[in-house]
Chain A
C-alpha cells in the first residue's frame, strides 16, 4: 500500500482538528470527535479498497459495465416496500423528516442534471427553488388558485427562469459560471426580501392552503408524504429516461469536452439551455411542494447556504449518479436530525466528513460509472 504525502498530512489533520475543538467541547467531546472522524475515515478507506479490489484497476474487456455485488432489483424492491409502509408505523416526526428528505431529493436530482450531467457548476440553485415556492405561494394565496393549477404555472415560471439564467451563463465555464449563478441566487433572495408589496419582504407569505386531490384535502402529513413520494418517483423515472437518451449523452459529452462534443454535431448552446431549464423545472416542483407543506415561505429558506447544501448532496452522493444523489440527500437531511443532540457540532462533523470525502473518494459515495 502506497501512502502519499497528502494522506499523511490528512492523518495529522484529524488529531489537530480534535485538539482545536478541545476548548469548545471538552476532553470527552474531543475524544468522541476524534474517534468519530477516524471511524468515518476508516470506513471510507475500506469502501475505496473494496472498489479497487472489484475493479482490479484493469481494463474491463467485457461488453457490459462491471457487475454490482448485489442485484439492484431486489434492493429497489426492498427500499420501495420500506418507503411505502413507513407511514404505517412511524410517528409524525419521522414522516416530517422523510417529506423534507423527499423534497431535497427532487432538488438534488434537478441540480444533478446541471452539475452532474452537463457539468455546469451552479451555486445559485436555491433561486429556482425560491421562484417555485414563491410563485406557488403567491398564486394560491393572492390569486386563489388551487394547488395543482398553481403548481402547473409555477413549473412554467421556474423552467423559464432557468432558461433566462442560461443566457449570461452560456459562454462561461467553471469558476466564472459559479460566480454568475451565485449572483443570480443572491439577486433572487434580495428581491424576495425587499419587494414588500408582492412578497411581504422578510415576513414571508403565510396561509398557503392545503392541497386537494380529487376533492380530498391532504391535511394529514401521511397523505402528503405519499404525494411527495409520487413526485420523487416521477423525478427519478423522468430524469433517468432522459439520461439514457441522446439528450443525456449530449450533456455528458459537453461535460467531458465541449469542443469535441461540438465537433461531433452536438449543439452545445441548445443543450446547455435545456440543462438549465430542465434542472430548474425540478427545483420549481420541489419549491411548490415545500410551500404547501410548510404553508409558509420566507426568503431565509432560500439563502446561499441552501444552494451549497443542495450542491453538497449532489457531490457527496456522487456526481451524475441518481442513486448516489438520493443517498447524498438522505444523509444530509437525516444525519443532522439524528445528531440533533450534538447541536452545533453536527455542522463541524459534516464539514470534516465532506473534507475526508473529497480526499479519499472525490467521485462521491456512488460513482456514476465504475
Chain B
C-alpha cells in the first residue's frame, strides 16, 4: 500500500464535506475518484496534500503519517498534484514553471547562487535539462520560452502535469485533468496518464469524463455527499445500484 486514508473527515462549520472516508491505494495503479458535483472530491485532495487541515482521521503515505504535514513537506515526500482550476505561474515561462516543480529536488542556497559556485552552475544546468525532459514527456517543449499564461488551454493542463511530475512524485494527484478538453485532447491525455503509470507512478484522478474514468482506471471510488458509497473496478462500479442512484436519482414507480 502506497497510500492509506483512514476515516478522513473534514467539516466546514456545520457542513460535512468529507465524512469518514477510508481507502487504500496500491502502488502503480490508476485510481479514479468520481461523484456528483459537491461530493467532496476536491476537498479530499486538499486534505491529502495538506492544503486543508483535517477535522479527523489519518493519512499514511508509505507507512508514514502525513496527516499534519504542510503542503510543501508533502510534496517533498513525493506526492504532487494539479489543480481543478488551472493554477500555473502565468507570468513565468513554461520552462520556469517546470523548474519551480524541481524546487524540492535541488538544494543550492543563496550564497552559492551569488558566488556562482561550480556546484550551483552544475545544479542549474541539471535543473534545466531535467525540466526540458519533462516538457518533452508531455509534448510541449516547443513552448518552453513562452509565458505559461499564453498557452492554449489544453497545453496549460499538460504543463500542470509536467510541473507536478518535475517534483518527482511517487503519487500524482490529478484534479479533473480532462475538464474543458475536446475529444482529441482527451484521447491524448489518456495516453499521457497511461505513460505516467507505465513509468511506475501511482495516479489518483478526479474526473467527470466517464470515457476517461472507465477507460484507464484500475480502481474507482465513488463519493456522494462526502461519503464513500462504492469502490471497485470499472465493471463493478458501472453495475452498482447505489452509484446509479447517486448519479441519476431513484427510479420512482407509480
Instruction: Given A246-B108, A250-B103, answer yes or no on A262-B144 (Cβ-Cβ < 8 Å).
Output: no
B103 touches A246 (CB 8 A): yes
Would you call A64 and B145 a contact (CB within 8 A)?
yes
Q: Is the CB of B146 within 8 A of A60?
A: yes
B75 touches A265 (CB 8 A): yes
Query: Across the interface, which residues of A come within 8 angstroms of B76, CB to CB?
Result: 265
CB distance A369 to B91 under 8 Å?
A: yes
- Asked if A262 meets B87 with Cβ closer than 8 Å, knowing A60-B146, A62-B145, A246-B127, the reply is no
Of B34-42, B55-63, B93-101, B183-191, the one with at least 4 CB within 8 A of chain A: B93-101
Select from chain A the residue with minimum beta-carbon distance to B163: A264
The contact of B100 among A59, A64, A261, A274, by CB within 8 Å, is: A261
A:40-71 near B, CB below 8 Å: 59-65
**Per-position binary interface string of chain A over residues 64-104, scored 1 when its CB falls under 8 Å from any chain B CB and 0 otherwise:** 11000000000000000000000000000000000000000
Any chain A CB within 8 A of the CB of B113?
yes
B145 surroundings in chain A (CB, below 8 A): 60, 62-65
Q: How long is the Cα–Cα vector from A267 to B109 in the complex, in angstroms? A: 14
Q: B148 — nearest CB in chain A belongs to which residue?
A: A256
A253 within 8 A of B: yes
Contacts of B106 in A (CB 8 A): 246
Question: When the two chains form the complex, which single residue of A64, A242, A253, A268 contacts B113, counting CB atoms closer than 8 Å?
Answer: A242
Residue of B nearest to A260 (CB): B87
Residues of A within 8 A of B167 (CB): 264-265
Contact A65 B93 (CB under 8 A): yes
Q: Does B220 contact A (CB under 8 A)?
A: no
In the bound complex, how far is the Cα of B116 from the Cα of A231, in angstroms? 19
The verdict on A340 contacting chain B, using a C-beta distance below 8 Å, is: no
Contacts known (A242-B110, A265-B167, A266-B103); A260 close to B127, Cβ less than 8 A: no
Q: Given A61-B143, A262-B70, does the pair A249, B87 have CB atoms closer than 8 Å?
A: no
Indicate whether B21 reaches chain A with its CB closer than 8 angstroms: no
A231 to B91, CA, bound (A): 30
List the B residue with the shortest CB-CB distance to A58: B150
B91 to chain A: which residues have CB within 8 Å? 252, 256, 368-369
Q: Is B216 an interface residue (CB 8 A)?
A: no
Assess whether B146 is in contact with A259, with CB atoms less than 8 Å apart: no
A227 to B130, CA, bound (A): 42
Which residues of A have CB within 8 Å of B90?
A: 256
Mark each residue of chain B from 144 to 182: 1 if its CB lies under 8 Å from any CB of chain A, else 0: 111100111000000000011001000000000000000
A265 touches B104 (CB 8 A): yes
Quick check: B71 and A263 within 8 Å, CB to CB? yes
**Bound Cα distance from A77 to B163, whole angstroms:** 38
User: Does chain A have a CB within 8 A of B32?
Assistant: no
Q: Does A247 contact B (CB under 8 A)?
A: yes
Q: Report yes or no: B75 in contact with A263, Cβ–Cβ below 8 A.
A: yes
Known: A242-B113, A253-B92. A259 touches B142 (CB 8 A): no
A4 interface residue (CB < 8 Å to B): no
From 234 to 260 in chain A, residues with beta carbon under 8 angstroms from any chain B beta carbon are: 238, 241-242, 244-247, 249-250, 252-253, 256-257, 259-260
B51 within 8 A of A: yes
- Cβ of B124 under 8 Å from chain A: yes
Q: How far is the CB of B210 from chain A (nearest CB, A)?
A: 27
- Contact (Cβ within 8 A) A245 B120: yes
Given A63-B144, A256-B91, A265-B72, CB of A238 within 8 Å of CB of B114? yes
Does B113 lie within 8 Å of A245, measured CB to CB?
yes
| Docked pose: A266 CA to B124 CA in angstroms | 17
Q: How far is the CA of A257 from the CA of B82 in the complex (A)?
A: 13
Q: Complex formed: what's the CA distance from A90 to B114 in Å? A: 34
Known: A60-B145, A65-B93. A249 touches B103 (CB 8 A): yes
User: Could you give 22 example pairs across A and B, Cβ below 8 Å?
Assistant: A59-B146, A59-B152, A60-B145, A61-B142, A63-B145, A65-B93, A65-B145, A244-B124, A245-B124, A246-B103, A246-B106, A246-B127, A249-B92, A249-B100, A252-B92, A256-B89, A259-B83, A263-B75, A264-B75, A264-B80, A265-B76, A267-B70
Please give the residue numbers on chain B whose beta carbons come within 8 Å of chain A beta carbons, in ascending order: 49, 51, 70-72, 75-76, 80-81, 83, 87-93, 96, 99-104, 106, 108-110, 113-114, 116, 120, 124, 127, 142-147, 150-152, 163-164, 167
Known: A252-B96, A253-B92, A264-B80. 18 other contacts (CB 8 A): A59-B150, A59-B151, A60-B146, A61-B146, A65-B93, A65-B145, A245-B113, A252-B91, A253-B100, A256-B89, A260-B83, A262-B71, A264-B101, A264-B163, A264-B164, A265-B75, A265-B76, A265-B101
